[in-house]
Amino acid sequence: ICQAGGIVPMVEPEVLMDGDHDIDKCAEVTEWVLKEQFHQLHYARIPLEGIILKPNMVISGKKCAKQASAEEVAEKTLKVLKRCVPAAVPGIAFLSGGQSSVDATKHLSLMNASGMLPWKLTFSYGRALQADALKAWGGKAENVAAARKAFAHRAKMNALAANGKWSDAVEKAA
């Protein structure tokens, strides 16, 4: 319906990071969800060239005793995407899914820095884009300038990550 109306649909399958599952379980479930999602898109005759995929990253559950490293998150997320997402999909805009703002930025940058990919990887963060600004604001009018500065900083860091150019040094220097 969206495509018939000239609108690009955001296809948003999400595996939540709630729980104590490890990164391998997240990879397994995310792979199943993505494969099923693309089967259903195929059955519905949806042109993949006209969608944006908005998935989760492959990550350990919040309550998992062993949290995966940023490098492992990037590696396993790309591995699952390469197994499941056709090259016809032009772009993948990740959910932050409850990750910290810096972690979501770091994971995206590592994936984009990994080399040539068949899709453009970017962000569609909610909490990870707004959290720092909301914390700086705290509901007080006198903090609006600080909140704007925090939001602009996070947006700039995510823009760098979308090009694989973010680093801890850039984060701290800006």
Enumerate the active-site residues. Answer: 12, 54
Amino acid (one-letter) located at 150: A
DSSP 146-167: HHHHHHHHHHHHHHHHTTT---
121: which 2 tokens? 């990887």
Of 68, 72, 167, residue with least CA distance to 113: 167
Contact 56, 12 (CB under 8 A): no
Of 105, 101, 92, residue with least CA distance to 38: 92
Of 156, 30, 149, 46, residue with least CA distance to 94: 30
**Placement of tokens 């760098």 in the chain:** 160
